[in-house]
Amino acid sequence: MLDINFILQNPEKIKKAARDKNLDPTIVDQLIETDKKRRQLIIEIQKVREEKNNFEKSIKAKPDQATIEKGKDFKKKLAALEPVLRDAEKEFNLLMISIPNVPDESVPIGKSAADNVEIRKWGEIPKFDFKPKNHVELGQALDLIDFERGTKLAGFRGYCLKNEAVLLHLGVIMYALEKLTVKGLTPLVPPVLDKEFCFINTGHFPWGKKEAYETSTGEKKEDIRWLAGTAEVPLVSYHSGEVLNEKDLPIVYAGFSPCFRREIGSYGKDTKGMFRIHEFLKVEQVVLCKNDWKESGIWHETLLANAEELLHDLELPYRAMLMCTGEMGEPQVKKYDIETWMPGRGQYGETMSDSNMGDFQARRANIRFRSVKGKLEYPHMLNNTAIASPRILIPILENYQTKEGWVRVPKVLQKYVGKEIIKR
Q: pLDDT digits over 67-109, tens only? A: 888 888 989 999 999 999 999 999 999 999 999 999 999 999 9
pLDDT of residue 267 exceeding 70: no
**Lowest mean pLDDT segment, chosen from 69-78, 211-220, 262-271, 346-355:** 262-271
* 125 and 37 housed in the same domain: no
Residue finishing a domain among 65, 96, 127:
96
What is the structure's pLDDT at 219? 79
* 327 and 190 housed in the same domain: yes
* 90 and 148 housed in the same domain: no
How many other C-beta atoms lie within 10 A of the C-beta of residue 101? 24
Catalytic residue list: 261, 276, 350, 353, 391
Half-sphere exposure of 308 (CA within 13 A, CB side): 19
Better pLDDT: 221 or 341: 341
Q: Does 36 fall in a domain?
A: yes
pLDDT of residue 268 exceeding 70: no
Total structural domains in the chain?
Answer: 2
Residue finishing a domain among 64, 96, 128:
96
* 122 and 89 housed in the same domain: no
* 173 and 71 housed in the same domain: no
Query: Whole domain around residue 80: which residue ranges?
Result: 4-96
* 64 and 195 housed in the same domain: no
What is the structure's pLDDT at 148? 95
* 190 and 271 housed in the same domain: yes
pLDDT of residue 424 exceeding 90: no
Q: Does 282 fall in a domain?
A: yes
What is the structure's pLDDT at 365? 98
In this prediction, residue 265 has a pLDDT band, given cuts at 50, 70 and 90, of low
Average pLDDT of every residue of the chain: 95
Average pLDDT, stretch 334-339? 98
Helix (H, G, I), strand (E, B) or coil at 322: strand
Helix (H) / strand (E) element for 180: namely helix 164-182
Average pLDDT, stretch 239-257? 98
Identify which of 295, 259, 256 has the alpha carbon closest to the alpha carbon of residue 380.
295
What is the structure's pLDDT at 20? 97
pLDDT tens per residue, range 152-164: 999 989 999 999 9
Distance, CA of 79 to CA of 36 (rounded, Å): 21
CATH number of the domain enclosing 370? 3.30.930.10
* 83 and 148 housed in the same domain: no
* 45 and 188 housed in the same domain: no
What does 327-359 look like in DSSP terms, one character per residue? TS-TT-SEEEEEEEEETTTTEEEEEEEEEE-TT
Q: Does 137 fall in a domain?
A: yes
* 151 and 80 housed in the same domain: no
223 burial (CB, 10 Å; 0-12 / 13-18 / 19+) is exposed
What is the structure's pLDDT at 234? 98
pLDDT of residue 308 exceeding 70: yes
Q: Does 101 fall in a domain?
A: no
Residue finishing a domain among 68, 96, 124:
96
